[in-house]
Structure 1
Amino acid sequence: MVKQNSTKAWLLASRPKTLTAASIPVMLGCALASMYGHFQLIPAILCFLFAFLMQIDANFINDLYDYLKGSDREDRLGPERACAQGWISPSGMKKGILVTTALAAVTGLFLLGYGGWEMIPVGIACIIFAFLYTTGPYPLAYHGWGDILVLVFFGFVPVGCTFYVMAHDWNTSVTMVSLACGFVIDTLLMVNNFRDREQDAISGKKTIVVRLGARAGLILYFLLGLAACWSCFYFVTEGRLWAAILPQIYLLFHILTTMKMARINRGKELNAILGETSRNMLLFGILLTAGLLIPA
């Protein structure tokens, strides 16, 4: 039993398991900064904190507005949501969103001392799109834009900006790691959408899987992981062979998970694939980070 608006309720609503997706891009941005001799501890900590706060903020927003839209029905297959379960009242969730948004904004202000004023539009965009994902007259998640947003806000923005606040630079290595990171994290969204395809269709949520079908979703899931691995081959041209080779270990686990996903096909059992995908994603991040840190 979870008491309404209790500490446990807020912890569950924050979805701590999703913080993996927030930490991997920052970890890779730090590894790139270290590779080029620009790593700094304080901005690294601030980048992690900002990423965690924005992930929690997005989770709160998603929880509240999916509930208000009626998307979190009794036939929901994914993990339980706080508002739908009555763990947190809608008014309480609105206050939680206000607090986490404010904390993220304050953290972003501290980062200005390292990244410069050019970070302001980036921070504002992070906050705006956290809301636009599920709110407003044109909620982006309901119109198939989720995968593009993952590529941008879990790839280019966190990887690139983490590197930028330390190095004040951008190069091809940053672009390729941003792509790889965005691709691998999008596998998490893809398996979510694959699992929820029937419920999403009823709710009018037009994800790529709803638009193209389950088979296409399965193929795209596999191709995203493959694209993440193949993006790392760029580092052969930089003389960083370990950064190209180590992430390929992830591909074995990704293939096995894809095969299991195909066998299960539908239902709550796909939550196991969600867990495996999260594990594989973290493995990829650790392997690529290690590869970037091993001297050429």
Structure 2
Amino acid sequence: MEKRTHTSEESGWRIWWQLMRPHTLTASFVPVLIGTALALPVTEIHVPVFLAMLVASILIQSATNMFNEYFDFKRGLDTAESVGIGGAIVRHGITPRTVMAIAVGCCAAAVGLGIYICLVSSWWLAAIGSVCIATGYLYTGGPYPIAYSPFGEIVSGLFMGLVIIGISFFIQTGTVSDTAILTSVPVSILIGNILMANNIRDRVGDEKNGRRTLAILLGHKGAVRLLAGMFAAAYVWLVVLTLTEVVPPESLLALLSLPKAVQAVREFKGKTAPPEMMPAMKFTAQVNTFFGFLLAVGVFIGYSL
């Protein structure tokens, strides 16, 4: 029998919503919007395939978040005092078995949608999708979790930026273009920054529990500097893409998200306690959301004129 260590008065849909870690879900559906918008000059958008890809990406991201919840509990990283919206097991009395079952269910539903996507595009995507699901599990599962290493930001950025944008473009056009690959770079960077922000906040506790994240290796100041540098790189890359006509000039709408990036960096400076850094984490996630949505809208407008 599995022990539930703590319960809370909070109940109902809010617990399950928090279990999905909704602030991270933009990292799954924003790339789908961008990859689909980039396909506009090539073909008419196949809406059912777009929706299937959108839901499948959200399901895999949700499953990854629940695997994280499960394995952080099993390894003793989550406690009732942990900061953040994770910890549904220790704070709300949900059993680890239930969390794992829901995660597996999300993966199964994503596979079902993946079969439909393969039927209308290519069965090569089955292999890529399987790797994506396996990576979601191994991100915090297995003997050598990716999230406990210095490579978490790179892996999350590549899979949720480059791979999702590439697949979203491919299922509409039947090919992958230089435009899709190049446009995925700033999105990959900003998705990696979401994890970096999380690891900056949790740096002290993670180090005590044996993690070796990039934030731990760089220290607080070094990690914040890298975060700022990656924000700058994403915006500079976007400007270069526009100047070289890889994407339409309307894509510069994404620059409107820049103030959020500045806020995120400022909120991290001089802060040491995890609760103090929660606003910085929120702003970092919002950068990805606003940048991605505005980029998708700009691309859509530019290619529709």
TM-score bracket for the superposition, by shorter chain length: over 0.9
Deviates more, 1:248-257 or 1:65-74: 248-257
**What does the per-residue CA deviation read over 1:243-265, in whole Å, with 9 as the maximum and x for residues that have no partner?**
55322232233123212221434
Residue matched to 1:57: 63
| SS in structure 2 at match of 1:37 | coil
Gaps of 5+ in 1: none
Contact 2:242 2:252 in 1 (8 A): no
Contact 2:43 2:172 in 1 (8 A): no
| SS in structure 2 at match of 1:72 | coil
**Alpha-carbon distance, 1:240 to partner:** 4.1
Residue matched to 2:122: 116
**What does the per-residue CA deviation read over 1:5-42, in whole Å, with 9 as the maximum and x for residues that have no partner?**
x5543232122232222111111111111243342211
Q: After TM superposition, where is structure 1 displaced by more than 6 Å over at least 4 residues in a row?
A: none
Residue matched to 2:243: 236
Specify which of 203, 207, 211 is matched with residue 205 of structure 1: 211
Deviates more, 1:94-103 or 1:154-163: 94-103
Distance of 1:102 and 1:239 partners within structure 2? 37
**Alpha-carbon distance, 1:93 to partner:** 1.6
**Alpha-carbon distance, 1:239 to partner:** 6.4
**Alpha-carbon distance, 1:241 to partner:** 4.5
**Given the alignment of the two structures, is residue 34 of structure 1 paired with residue 40 of structure 2, yes or no?**
yes
Distance of 2:59 and 2:229 partners within structure 1? 30
Residue matched to 1:14: 20
Residue matched to 1:137: 143
**What does the per-residue CA deviation read over 1:40-60, in whole Å, with 9 as the maximum and x for residues that have no partner?**
211110111001100110111
Residue matched to 1:270: 277
Distance of 1:87 and 1:242 partners within structure 2? 51
**Given the alignment of the two structures, is residue 160 of structure 1 paired with residue 166 of structure 2, yes or no?**
yes
Residue matched to 1:90: 96
**Given the alignment of the two structures, is residue 105 of structure 1 paired with residue 111 of structure 2, yes or no?**
yes
Which amino acid counterpart does residue 208 of structure 1 have in structure 2?
Answer: L
Which amino acid counterpart does residue 217 of structure 1 have in structure 2?
Answer: A
Residue matched to 1:195: 201
Assess, with a 3 A threshold, how the Cα gap between structure 1 residues 80 and 286 changes in structure 2: closer, same or farther.
closer
Distance of 1:61 and 1:295 partners within structure 2? 39
The size of the alignment, in residue pairs, is: 294
Please provide the CA RMSD for this pair.
Answer: 1.8
Residue matched to 2:75: 69
Assess, with a 3 A threshold, how the Cα gap between structure 1 residues 71 and 157 changes in structure 2: closer, same or farther.
same
Distance of 2:14 and 2:198 partners within structure 1? 24
Contact 2:118 2:125 in 1 (8 A): yes
Aligned residues with identical type, % of pairs: 26
How does the TM-score come out when normalised to structure 2?
0.90
**Alpha-carbon distance, 1:150 to partner:** 1.4
